[in-house]
Amino acid sequence: MRGLFASSQRVRDGWRIGLRACGGEELRDSLVGMTGARRTLGVMAVGAAVVGLVAQAIRPSLGRPEGPRVEMAVPPQVREILVRRCYACHSDEPRLVWWDEAAPMYWVVASDVQRARAAVNYSEMGTKPLATQRAVLFESVNQIELGAMPLRIYLLGHPDAEVTAEELATLKKYLAPFATGPASAGAGASESAHEDVTEAAGPSPNGVPFLPGFANWRVISTTDRGDDHTLRMITGNEIAMRAIAAHQLPSWPEGAAFAKSTWQAVDDGHGRLVPGKFLQVEFMEKHRVQYAGTGGWGFARFVGADLKPYGKDAHFENECLGCHEPVRDNDYVFTLPLPRGSER
């Protein structure tokens, strides 16, 4: 107790000097007028204020990132929505309100904006291939629709970032995934000209292995993707299929794995879309401890007929997790499996 008092006395002395230097005469007078615990509290409050002021000097920059800056070519009504609701974080022009400007809030906001830009920066999206731009817009709409964006915590302080139902409808109408068929029309299904590759060049950069035999796994579902004109088939290993039959979802068991094979959708000449060129296979493999950093799932993608592992380095899995985040309640799984066990 004595030690505490002694040190608080030293602090008080220190503050008096500091206050005089800052010209805080009035404050000092009111502090001197206080006694005991109240004085200690007063000192702490002033201390916090000074620390707060000093903290303002530490300001990570939110300047323009490097690289060419080109926006997407989208109709004005679409751009307006993006600017109004998304650009505050996902562009070169951060819009901060006054309570964002003060540290420590500023530090949180600055780090959020940096992360937001790393994921999607609309100010540079025009430099990407058109297919990538379209994919980013679809992901944006889906993140909004599933309630993942804008972040709920961000909306607490910035309620005007909320996307209205009308705005979402405008974005969806512009994207119109099923308005046109695939551009490619051709002979249709499968190329048998390929040499049979059964093993990827190597594991995914995050260490997730290629899982051979996925084409012999049973079917969980299929999807018709109007956003990128592909057909997909999701298959599951034995553990995954047993979990579906045993009604264990949403907690997929250890060792459960899915493969999602993606083909270009082509017209077979009879008004039917069938799988054409094989584009990629993606895996999700459940190992709670090994993949604890990514929701318990190992994500991997192998591209093309030669199964090239996707991703420059292990950081690519942030893309996977970011996209799957809105379905966290479904254990990060988008697919609704066909029910099993009721048929014979």
Partner 1 sequence: MRMRVVGCVVMLAMVCGCKGKKIADADLYNVQAALTTGLPYPVLEWRAITTAVNRGREDGEGTAEATMDTLFGNDAAVAAARAGTAYPAGAVLGLVTWREREDPHWFGARIPGAVVSVDFVVVGATTVCREFAGEPLREVTNCGAKRAAEMEGMKAAWTP
Comparing CB distances to partner 1, the nearer of 92 and 268 is 268
The three state secondary structure string of 89-119 is CCCCCCCCCHHHHCCCHHHHHHHHHHHHHHH
The radius of gyration of the chain's CA atoms, rounded to the nearest angstrom, is 28
Question: From the CB of 318, what's the least distance to partner 1, in Å?
Answer: 20
Question: From the CB of 107, what's the least distance to partner 1, in Å?
Answer: 29
Q: How many residues bind partner 1 (CB under 8 A)?
A: 67
Contact region with partner 1 (CB under 8 A), list: 55-63, 69-77, 137-145, 312-320 = 137-145
Crossing angle between the packed helical segments 2-22 and 36-55, to the nearest 10 degrees: 50
Which of 33, 219, 246, 288 is close enough to bind partner 1 by CB under 8 A?
A: 219
Which of 88, 281, 284, 300 is close enough to bind partner 1 by CB under 8 A?
A: 281
Contact region with partner 1 (CB under 8 A), list: 18-26, 147-155, 210-218, 310-318 = 210-218
Comparing CB distances to partner 1, the nearer of 123 and 204 is 204
Contact region with partner 1 (CB under 8 A), list: 39-47, 72-80, 89-97, 300-308 = 300-308
**Taking CB under 8 A as the rule, does residue 342 contact partner 1?**
yes
Q: What is the per-residue binding string for partner 1 in 239-278, x denoting contact by CB under 8 A?
A: -----x----xx----------x-x-x--x--xxxxx--x
Question: From the CB of 336, what's the least distance to partner 1, in Å?
Answer: 4
Which of 47, 181, 203, 205 is close enough to bind partner 1 by CB under 8 A?
A: 181
* Rounded CA separation 32/164 (Å): 55
Dig out the tokens for 46 from the structure. 């002033």
Which of 2, 152, 312, 344 is close enough to bind partner 1 by CB under 8 A?
A: 344
**Taking CB under 8 A as the rule, does residue 201 contact partner 1?**
no
Which of 146, 153, 185, 201 is close enough to bind partner 1 by CB under 8 A?
A: 146
Comparing CB distances to partner 1, the nearer of 39 and 340 is 340
Dig out the tokens for 58 from the structure. 């530490």
**Taking CB under 8 A as the rule, does residue 307 contact partner 1?**
yes
* Rounded CA separation 333/252 (Å): 9
Distance set, CA 45 to CA 18, 52, 263 (Å): 14, 10, 64
Question: From the CB of 313, what's the least distance to partner 1, in Å?
Answer: 24
**Taking CB under 8 A as the rule, does residue 338 contact partner 1?**
yes
Comparing CB distances to partner 1, the nearer of 128 and 340 is 340
Sorted by sequence, the CB contacts under 8 Å of residue 117 that are 6+ apart come out as: 65, 89, 90, 91, 92
**Taking CB under 8 A as the rule, does residue 188 contact partner 1?**
yes
Residues that bind partner 1 (CB under 8 A): 138, 141-142, 145-146, 172, 175, 177-178, 181, 188-192, 194, 196-198, 214-219, 221-228, 231, 233, 235, 244, 249-250, 261, 263, 265, 268, 271-275, 278, 281, 305-307, 326-327, 329-330, 334-340, 342-344
